Amino acid sequence: MPASSNCSTERLIDIQIVVEDALSEAVLRRLLAPPLGRYRIAACYGKRGCGYIRKKIHGFNQAARAGPYLVLTDLDDAFCPAELRNHWLTAPQNRQLLFHVAVREVESWLLGDKDGLARFLGISPDRVPGNPDAVADPKSALLGLARRSRKRHLREALLPRIGSTAIVGPDYNGTLGEFVLIHWDPLAAARRSESLKRLLDRLAAFCRTGG
């Protein structure tokens, strides 16, 4: 069982977040807010893909001198999180900058809650990968599960329309954001995703010590 992010006091820590997209924002909002976390999001930056974060990371690192920032990006095709961080952030990392890399995508963390995702999609839990961090393309894996969904409105929201050049459906982020905020069990997911567990542990440690 991973440590939750609960602090021993009732004081909420103000934190700024930086994300690739709306789905990553929903995930952090779920992880940071009570009862799981003891944080209050002061501002959210990004939602313009990983290129924006890579371009601005040194500015966020400097801004973290004044207060904590949590940056979340996907590993995608990089070799490992440490390699990505070292490649993007060449200056010393401020102790109040929490720079976390989801392995391999934030969708991995959704796959980690096998039972919750299966109920949401209306499929068998046996179809959900048991080791989400090892899935090479979590987004494609999730879309494959959505194709098997018995719920038509979910298929229409998550899957690209026939003839479309889009990778995902018209309400992919909104629909999965609803799953994250209402149905997703982060602690269950963290039992299968070491990447998610590391973030929960880091948030809990920062909450206790202030860095």
pLDDT tens-digit series, residues 57-95? 999 999 999 999 999 999 999 999 999 999 999 999 999
For the segment 147-173, the average pLDDT, to the nearest whole number, is 97
User: Following DSSP, what letter does each residue of 117-182 receive, concatenated?
Assistant: HHHHHTS-GGGS-S-GGG-S-HHHHHHHHHHT-S-HHHHHHHSPPTT---SS-TTHHHHHHHIIII
- What's the pLDDT tens digit per position in 102-129? 999 999 999 999 999 999 999 999 999 9
What pLDDT was estimated at residue 60?
Answer: 98
What pLDDT was estimated at residue 1?
Answer: 46
- Provide, rounded to the nearest whole percent, the portion of the chain with pLDDT above 70: 94
The count of other CB atoms within 10 Å of the CB of residue 76 is 15
pLDDT at 12 over 80: yes
User: Structure pTM?
Assistant: 0.94
Q: Are 177 and 120 in contact (CB under 8 A)?
A: no
